[in-house]
Amino acid sequence: MFIKQFYTGCISEAAYYIESDGVAAVIDPLRDIESYLELAKERKATIKYIFETHFHADFVSGHLDLAKVTGATIVYGPLTQTPLPVHIAKDEEVFRLGKLSIQVLHTPGHTLESSCFLLKDETGKDMAIFTGDTLFVGDVGRPDLAQKTNEITTEDLAGMMYDSLQKRIIPLSDEVIVYPAHGAGSSCGKNLGPETHSTIGAQKASNYALQPQTKEAFIKAVTEGLTAPPQYFPINAKINKEGYDSLDSVLTSGLRPLSVAMLKEHLHNNYILLDTRNSAQFTQGFIPGSISIGLDGRFAEWAGSLLPFNTPIALVTENGKEKESIIRLARVGFDKIVGYVEGGYEAWQAAGEPIDLIIDVEVDEVAMDIAFDPNMVILDVRKETEYADGHIKEALNIPLDHLTDPGSMADLDEQQNIYVHCAGGYRSVIASSLIKRQGIHNIRNIVGGYGQIKELSDKFDIEKDVSVLN
């Protein structure tokens, strides 16, 4: 028996490769499939099955491309509805994998088709369960992401989740290993733990969702406090259900070098110009109108949350980061990538074209300015809960994912001295680039964000919003 977890930190996603006697299966693959193919080749194995725990909302799966290359069968659980060529398994259907077997356990709740895959050894003993978004370390999948109708509500799905856990998860032996689809940072749950695997016994002891409780209490626990999911979730779920262009075709288009003249033509056509360099590089100089989303943070998630999917994208990257930028965009469904600026920002600058920048300021300088500048506005772009847990008094809170909403910047204007911060500096640079695109340029980026502000808390008037935290 061989099991390998492929964990992708920037989107908190786990895919799995399982093998026995030269026969392999992949569970919940990402769109870039080379790592699975390379491992199978290295181990002289054949990928026979691709198991999908559900229609993922937070990334585009690699099931179609991987099946095309390997001839493997794509397996979904009961109640799956899709025009794609997949095998819709029956509940408790068993698939042989060398000496091992994988049993489908239908566990609706996160979505209607959600299923777990129970791995058994050659004696039939339960060894591990691949839980998808049904069970995480410390949490369960949120029940508000599936397509709902007048007949099926979030509360109905939460009730299904309760039944699934009671009937399919809790009865398993304590030593069974739990391999979930996501870890900390994922928006598919409310509060996932930092570990990327666990055991049934450990989760029975610590996971709030597996404690003895009534169905009514469970439904309340899993549905209260849910924040709005990222805007790209329904788009990705639809792509996974209906199909997509191959990653190779996306790369062919995206890896087209663009001259400065070609880029100017694209910008004239209102294409998005996405700069994937790190935030420190971006603030020192960028092409006017660029949106900064650096590869050094949760790049794909913020791209999906902030950028339109129907507008072509041209890229500005560090030299050698062109392909990585395209792949990570494709992971969340961006296919309209028209190319990258040949020579990057430096080529634009060398051509004598106009440039823009964002002024970085240290926290101690902010502390001095705040005392005497009546036009100063502190813009805090963290989440509402982060803001409530501590913020500079009278700071304006516009969470980053709200900045693309119509009217979100109505309280900002060029006459103000706008100081932007987040927790550490990544989101504030993204926010500053979005604000500049709206023609507001009197902006300063607070280096180090609220983390640094707390270090000098004696120089600021810090307050909390206890009502939100409770």
User: Domain extents for the chain?
Assistant: 2-235, 245-350, 359-469
**What does CATH list as the number for 2-235?**
3.60.15.10
Residue spans of beta strands (DSSP E) within 150-221? 177-180, 198-199
Report CA-CA distances (Å) from 306 to 275, 292, 310, 340, 399.
Answer: 13, 11, 12, 20, 12
Predicted structure pTM score:
0.93
Q: What is the mean pLDDT of each run of 10 residues along the chain (470 residues)?
A: 96 97 98 97 98 97 97 98 97 98 98 97 97 97 76 92 98 98 91 93 96 96 89 95 96 97 94 97 97 96 96 97 98 97 97 97 93 91 95 95 91 93 97 96 96 92 78
| One-letter amino acid for residue 284 of the chain | Q
Instruction: Report the distance separating Cα 68 and Cα 452, nearest Å.
Output: 50
User: And the tokens for 28?
Assistant: 């919940």
* Residue 301 · residue 230 · CB < 8 Å: yes
How far is 164 from 144, CA to CA, in rounded Å?
16
Smallest Cα–Cα separation from 424: which of 300, 290, 279? 279
Report how far residue 214's alpha carbon sits from residue 272's, in angstroms, rounded to the nearest whole number. Answer: 50
Rounded distance between C-alpha atoms, residue 137 and residue 108, angstroms: 18
Distances (CA, A) of 291 to 100, 106, 283, 303, 353: 49, 42, 11, 10, 17
**CA 423 vs CA 377, 384, 391, 451: distances in Å:** 17, 12, 10, 6
Strand partners, 272: 313
Residue 396 and residue 411 in contact, taking contact as beta carbons nearer than 8 Å: yes
Cα–Cα distance between 421 and 361 in angstroms, integer?
10
CA dihedral for 367, 412, 275, 35, sign (positive or negative): positive
Angle, helices 34-42 vs 63-70, to 10°: value is 40
The pLDDT assigned to 190 comes to: 83
Per DSSP, the three-state class of 164 is helix
As a whole number of angstroms, the distance between CA 340 and CA 437 comes to 20
Q: Domain spanning 245-350 has what CATH number?
A: 3.40.250.10
At residue 315, the 3 state secondary structure works out as strand
Domain 359-469 grouped into CATH 3.40.250.10: yes
Residue 316, number of CB atoms within 10 A of its CB: 28
Within this chain, domains 2-235 and 245-350 share the same CATH topology: no
Sign of the Cα torsion 198, 202, 207, 212 reads positive
User: 357 near 442, Cβ under 8 Å?
Assistant: no
Rounded to whole angstroms, the Cα distance separating 38 from 173 reads 34
What sign does the CA torsion over 5, 185, 241, 80 have? positive
Query: How many angstroms separate the CA atoms of 363 and 129, rounded?
Result: 48
Of 332, 335, 351, 355, whose CA–CA distance to 343 is shortest?
Answer: 351
| Residue 430 main-chain phi, psi, to 5 deg | -60, -50
* Phi, psi dihedral angles at 18 (to 5 degrees): -125, 140
Written as one string, the DSSP assignment of 115-158 is: EEEEEE-TT--EEEEEEETTEETTEE--TTSS---SS--HHHHH
SS3 224: coil
